[in-house]
Chains A and B, each alone.
Chain A
Amino acid sequence: MDKVKVEELKIQLQQLLNEAQEFFRKIPPPQLYAAIGVVLFTVLLFLIIRLFKRRSSNTILLTGLSGSGKTVLFYQLRDGSSHQGTVTSMEPNEGTFVLHSETSKKGKMKPVHIVDVPGHSRLRAKLDKFLSQAAGIVFVVDAVEFLPNVRAASEYLYDILTKASVVKKKIPLLILCNKVDKVTAHTKDFIRRQLEKEIDKLRASRTSLSSADITNEYSLGVPGEAFAFSQCQNKVTVAEASGLTNDISQLEQFIREYVKA
């Protein structure tokens, strides 16, 4: 039975092939070439567009622990004011806009796509969605309440730095020490050293229980040496800002460095 069917199919295919050949022979060659040319052109066009799009990603992620001031920074960047204050975010804030400080400038500025990802640990899963398209990551740290949160912050930072998409694409990361207008704020060098120290410890303990856990695919730094951010494959810089008093020039500088105007 099967054999007969296969034979029938073969014959049918043969016939179809013959018909197609006939058809092609009937068409004059210039028309045929033109058709092929058009198809090739469109395919190339799509490829070029895709490549172009990927290269010029303009997404900047604001991450960090809950309460470090990401939402305030987001609105400072967008509107130049923090309005009437903020509460803990339950959903990401997303927006594509020209930075507020640049709206008065002449010439057309390229808008930036900024995403403020909630810092609450239950909502961190949302970060993955945006990481793949990020041109830069800003990790916001509360410089006043730094020491009580240093472990949680460094864990979060470690998770981000070891994400496959971050390592592979070498997405630059800015550690932004927020709230430096306060008197009791720590300096950015102190914060950087503390974070490095904590990540060094984390590196030792973060060997997963089993292969079931696949969050940390890459190991950080050079084994046997104390960890420093300079060992990361992607560029990690430290800067200061104050969300409430709108002192965010260093943040804007970072954004403009990676999202060209």
Chain B
Amino acid sequence: MLEQLLIFTRGGLILWTYKELGNALRGSPIDTLIRSCLLEERSGAASYNYDAPGASYTLKWTFHNELGLVFVAVYQRILHLLYVDDLLSMVKQEFSDIYDPKRTSYDDFDDIFQQLKKEAEARAEEMKKSKQVGKPVNNQLGRKQGQVQNGIADGGNKKKSGGESGNDGRDGDKFRGRPLENGNLNNNHVGKGEVPAAVNANGKENGISNTGAFDVNKLQKLRSKGGKKTETVVNKVSKPEPKKKITKKNRVWDDSPPESKLDFTDPVSENGEQNISVVAADQGESMMDKEEIISSDSESEEEDTGKDNKTDKQKKGWFSSMFQSIAGKSNLEKSDLEPALKALKDRLMTKNVAEEIAEKLCESVAASLEGKRLASFTRISSTVQAAMEDALVRILTPRRSIDILRDVHSAKEQGKPYVVVFVGVNGVGKSTNLAKVAYWLLQHNVNVMMAACDTFRSGAVEQLRTHARRLQIPIFEKGYEKDPAIVAKEAIQEASRNGSDVVLVDTAGRMQDNEPLMRALSKLIYVNNPDLVLFVGEALVGNDAVDQLSKFNQKLGDLSPSPNPRLIDGILLTKFDTIDDKVGAALSMVYISGAPVMFVGCGQSYTDLKKLNVKSIVKTLLK
């Protein structure tokens, strides 16, 4: 069952909730969704899973960007409700009709919602049936059932008549041999004649339940709305048909995967969520294609499609485009945004942002712009750029405090040393930057101790000892071939004995796929429970940043013996002086891990440690 459905503004005011359900949600899934998904530029995703003690929900949402509304549906994870997407888009459509920024209560939406919910459920039922229809026996059975039920219940409510008409549609389909259009045709059929009657029946039901007093006007309104909706459905359905045909032709014609990729996104966006499950069921092949594209050399082909878009634009002529820019375009559609987003994605990728991240970001920005009004005297590209800038600032602004000194002082008050563990792959500069951090802490009158827990690479302990001697700080070492977890533990004990405030633990570099070493690291973190796990990554890294960080996080989680394992808390970005304007690694790393960049290493001397300047990074990324 649907647990809750909320409509609220982007400002945070709840406009309408589904009161009938009444059962309170456990925890606060909505707030969590907003904080950890929508505000993290992950709104391009399809759904969000929320876990709280005693409850696990799945949340789905949709935006109305022009009016600044958010629609969220919450349901139990174990139930796979097919109709939620459908329902959300219908609710969006209906609610935007009656929405008025000055009004704050929408009690009259209850009736409309009941109606919409029934419709959506019925359609989901049909969908289920139509999936089974592949086997003709089922089909006939279903139809018989429908007829029998029809006979019993006089007139029949919407569900049943819909079911029957669905079967009719199916018959027609079979002759043409086009199974995909089943749902659509069915809607068509309904739209032509049967819906008014069906809605009427439904309305009557409602009326009866409302102690017989039902407003005739309302009924008419509902009816007209029902009619309108089906019309729009029909419209939407008729659109994608020719496109699909074109796709197939194209694919045969020049056999280039990107074309099919474009089409993979198109039908979904054009249709809205109306028949998403049908599309999903039918998309096995193009998904394969998509993967292929990612692995193959996609760049040149993408360029080609980009050129195609451009020529299309030029055909339109400058006059119409200028007129558009003055008058302000009514509503932005996905197809309008696509060229600008593509250009932006390419630009991000030239700045060394991992492709996956750039893609997700663009999707999220598209989701936040779709349906918005374009202000006059602005171009799409500048609007997109502004939205992307907002998003980037949001991502790079740290969520938690990155004031380590503050944490050090509070640990000192509690009388225990503050432990920082440096982790990362080989050769990124863990020891060097550990020394820089030690130098910085020393300057702020903090007693620092180093722990040489890299018992793996020869020379590592000596390297750290040299740093310690130059900075004149104590170092704890036990030579090689020792378990690093034990060494770290002893180091921390030693630190609390001799009154050091901070212990900087150096670990051996390890590749993210090296399971034994990752297990050892996970053990080290579990045993010592450090205050800060600092991932050291080099700014030179490109697509591998995603892999490194996600695998590190994943392995730390999976291989840890404790039920709620420690993950990476912060990032130290090294070799920042070597990359000129290719600062994308910072974005990739922050996006994938959610952890802030705490330090930036930018040179060889002890003083070359900086804070990340978010503004300049964003500026460089969009330059």
Which A residues are closer than 8 A to B by beta carbons?
66-67, 71, 75, 79, 83-93, 116, 118, 120-125, 151-152, 155, 201-202, 204-210, 212-213
Within the complex, what minimum Cβ distance (angstroms) separates B57 from chain A?
A: 15
Residues of B in contact, count (CB < 8 Å): 43
Residue from A87, A201, A209 in contact with B8 in the complex, judged by beta carbons closer than 8 Å: A87
- Cβ contact of B34, chosen from A90, A155, A209, cutoff 8 A: A90
**B105 in contact (CB, < 8 A):** yes
Residues of the A chain whose Cβ atoms lie less than 8 Å from the Cβ of B616: 212
Contacts of B10 in A (CB 8 A): 89-91
Q: Are A205 and B34 in contact (CB under 8 A)?
A: no
Contact A155 B401 (CB under 8 A): yes
Q: Which residues of B lie under 8 Å from residue A118 when comparing CB positions? A: 12
Q: Is the beta-carbon distance between B399 and A83 smaller than 8 angstroms?
A: no
| Pairs of residues from A and B, 9 with the lowest C-beta to C-beta distance, nearest first | A89-B12, A205-B405, A93-B11, A91-B10, A88-B34, A122-B394, A205-B406, A71-B12, A209-B611
Give every chain A residue within 8 A of B394 (Cβ-Cβ).
122-123, 125
B72 to chain A, nearest CB (A): 9
Q: Determine the chain B residues whose CB is within 8 A of the CB of A152 once the complex forms.
A: 401
Q: How far is the CB of B538 from chain A (nearest CB, A)?
A: 19
- Smallest beta-carbon distance B27→chain A, Å: 13
Are the CB atoms of A71 and B13 closer together than 8 Å?
yes
Inter-subunit contact B39/A90 (CB<8 Å): yes
A152–B402 Cα distance when bound, in Å, is: 11
Residues of A near B399 (CB, < 8 A) are 121-122
Residues of B within 8 A of A151 (CB): 401, 406, 410
* Residue among B70, B394, B440 facing the most chain A CB atoms (10 A cut-off): B394
B294 on the interface (CB 8 Å rule)?
Answer: no
Given A87-B12, A120-B39, A212-B610 in contact, is the A125-B405 Cβ separation under 8 Å? Answer: no
B376-430 contacts to A (CB < 8 Å): 393-395, 397-401, 403, 405-406, 408-410
CB–CB B68/A91 < 8 A = yes
B305 within 8 A of partner (CB)? no
Nearest-CB residue, chain A, relative to B19: A84
Smallest distance from the beta carbon of A217 to chain B beta carbons, Å?
Answer: 15
Give A93 to B8 CA distance when docked, in angstroms.
13
Query: B35 at interface (Cβ–Cβ under 8 A)?
Result: yes
Within the complex, what minimum Cβ distance (angstroms) separates B12 from chain A? Answer: 3
Interface of B is mostly: mixed
Centre residue among B12, B398, B406, B610 by max chain A CB count within 10 A: B12
Contacts from B to A (Cβ < 8 Å):
6, 8, 10-17, 30-31, 34-35, 38-40, 68, 70, 104-105, 393-395, 397-401, 403, 405-406, 408-410, 440, 444, 599, 609-611, 613, 616
Cα distance, A213 to B70, chains bound together (Å): 36
B17 → A minimal CB distance (Å): 6
| Chain A min CB distance to B3 (Å) | 15
Contact between chains at A66 and B35 (CB < 8 Å)? yes
Q: Which chain A residues border B611 with CB–CB below 8 Å?
A: 208-210, 212-213
A-B CB contact pairs (8 Å), 29 listed: A75-B13, A83-B13, A84-B15, A84-B105, A88-B31, A89-B10, A89-B11, A90-B10, A90-B70, A92-B11, A93-B12, A121-B398, A121-B399, A122-B39, A122-B40, A122-B394, A122-B397, A122-B399, A123-B39, A125-B393, A125-B394, A201-B410, A202-B403, A205-B408, A206-B403, A207-B405, A210-B610, A212-B610, A212-B611
Report which residue of B38, B395, B403 has the largest number of chain A beta carbons within 10 angstroms of its beta carbon.
B403
Tell me, rounded to whole Å, the shortest Cβ–Cβ distance linking B98 to chain A: 16
Q: Which of A84, A91, A120, A124 contacts B17 (CB 8 A)?
A: A84
Please name the residue on chain A nearest to B104 by beta carbon: A83
Q: Looking at the complex, which one of B34, B39, B406, B444 makes contact with A201 (CB distance below 8 Å)?
A: B406
Distance from A172 Cβ to chain B, minimum over Cβ atoms (Å): 25
Contacts A212-B610, A213-B613 given; does A205 touch B403 at CB 8 Å: yes
Q: Which residues of chain B are near A88, meaning CB under 8 Å?
A: 12, 30-31, 34-35, 39
Contacts of B403 in A (CB 8 A): 155, 202, 205-206
- Report the minimal beta-carbon distance from B324 to chain A, rounded to whole angstroms: 26
- Give the residue of A67, A122, A205, A213 whose beta carbon is less than 8 angstroms from that of B395: A122
Alpha-carbon distance between A197 and B34 when the two chains are bound, in angstroms: 32
